[in-house]
Amino acid sequence: MNASSRITTPFAPGATALEVIDGVDLAGRRAVVTGGTSGIGAETVRALALAGAEVIVATRRPETAGLLASELSRVPGAGPVRAQALELSDLSSVRNFAEGWQGPLDILVANAGIMALPQRVTSAEGWEMQLATNYLGHFALATALLPSMQASGSARMVIVSSGAHRAFPLDLADPQFEQRPYDPWAAYGQSKSADVLLAVGARRWWSEGITANAVNPGYVLTNLQRHLDDDTMRSFGVMDDDGKVKPLPYYKTPPQGAAGSVLLAASPLVAGVTGRYFEDNQEAAVVSGDKGEASGVAAHAVDPTVADRLWDYATDAISR
């Protein structure tokens, strides 16, 4: 990527999911949104369904999608919404979800995630839990659903990353923190670098009509912060002395945070685009990642050689 080829759109950073999809007809299209019961995931589901898509909410607790599905069922023209169980950190759950899928898949939004677990926890497969949930589960899901995306002829995958990736390259020599001391933010940041690398690695699917792009939703207060203690929230400036949580002026609302996901999932403005990273509804510039930049995508996260090495590493992990 270079600056002259970066993709721009007419949408401002504060545009909402409904604004970026206005006028787009998704009737007859089918979408899966992981973690789509709250926050930006729920707003992604809402926007896609209101545009006419059939949306499957893939979540650990399907019952939590009931209110959203009921709300949208009462909107004329909205596509049907239903929930299905999926635990991304459990590869058997991923396989069960994929085996139960029938027919084409047009949109896959890898939205679910966890952040800054205070202690190192591992999945059943031995992966550090943030890397297992944020990256490996989505990699396994996408590869398992590949035939369904191929059947679409023009499928799009959207991977929700974070600006936290810039400071933390993926350590392929010790990705599970088996040798180095565990750090909650390093684990989260490298999992989000892995998410961008997933979009880059998926360039191999472009000839089959499948595109994949990563997006940084910006700062949004959601359930993602549930593992942060009060002192950490106060240090971020989003909690007062009485324990009341409120966003800072530059924070986005969930509908604004979901705009990038919906743009990449459905807008004709990015049709055929793959392997890119977007933020504030524009393709981001490539930055060094070691200078504390406040925006952009780090060069380490869009390195095709690293992306291919990670792809091989993950392929081996899910085939055991």
The DSSP call for residue 132 is I
Q: How many CA atoms lie within 13 A of 85 on its CB side?
A: 8
Going by C-alpha positions, the residue among 262, 297, 265 that lies closest to residue 278 is 297
Interval 96-143: pLDDT, tens? 999 999 999 999 999 999 988 999 999 989 999 999 999 999 999 999
More confident residue, 266 or 231: 266
Predicted TM-score (pTM) of the model is: 0.92
Interval 200-251: pLDDT, tens? 999 999 999 999 999 999 988 756 555 556 666 566 666 677 677 777 676 7
More confident residue, 320 or 28: 28
Q: Among all chains, which residue has been given the structure tokens 């055991």?
A: 320
As annotated, the active-site residues are 188
**Residue 236 identity:** F
Say what the pLDDT of residue 1 is.
40
The rounded distance, in Å, linking the Cα atoms of 210 and 264 is 12
Question: Can you tell me whether residue 262 is helix, strand or coil?
Answer: helix
Domains of the chain by start residue, with CATH: 3-220+254-318 (3.40.50.720)
Interval 136-182: pLDDT, tens? 999 999 999 999 999 999 999 999 999 999 999 999 999 999 999 99
Going by C-alpha positions, the residue among 248, 266, 277 that lies closest to residue 19 is 266
CB proximity list for 281: less than 8 A, separation 6 or greater: 9, 11, 12, 13, 15, 20, 259, 260, 263
Is residue 300 within 8 A of residue 170, CB to CB? The reply is: yes
Whether residue 58 is predicted with pLDDT greater than 70 in this model: the reply is yes
